[in-house]
Amino acid sequence: MDVSLNRSGCDTALRGLDRLSGWLPHIGLERTVMLEYRVYVINNDGRIIERIDLECPNDAKAVSDVKTYARKNDVEIWCGQRVVTVLHPLT
């Protein structure tokens, strides 16, 4: 079963798991898929000063988890090859 991420975003990772949804509840498992995100903290010169890898169930949770990094620098959130959002410093 291929659940790799592709150009259309992280949500496609769930596509291969849909075939499992019929029998997972019968064996006592729930379908919880964590998506992989890369967070880049960008300085004023446009250079990456930090990379953070995290796993979250969805884009909204990823954004809420990294808001504190946007206090002084821009922050880019990526999921696969898709830019989720760019957060700017809270000034």
Residue 91, classed as helix, strand or coil, is: coil
Tens-digit pLDDT profile for residues 7-58? 445 555 555 555 555 555 555 556 678 999 999 999 999 999 999 999 999 9
d(CA 90, CA 72): 7
Its pTM surpasses 0.75: no
Q: What is the pLDDT of residue 1?
A: 38
| In contact, 65 and 56? CB cutoff 8 Å | yes
Environment class of residue 12 by beta-carbon count within 10 Å: exposed (0-12), middle (13-18) or buried (19+)? middle
Tens-digit pLDDT profile for residues 64-89? 999 988 899 999 999 999 999 999 99
Q: What is the pLDDT of residue 7?
A: 42
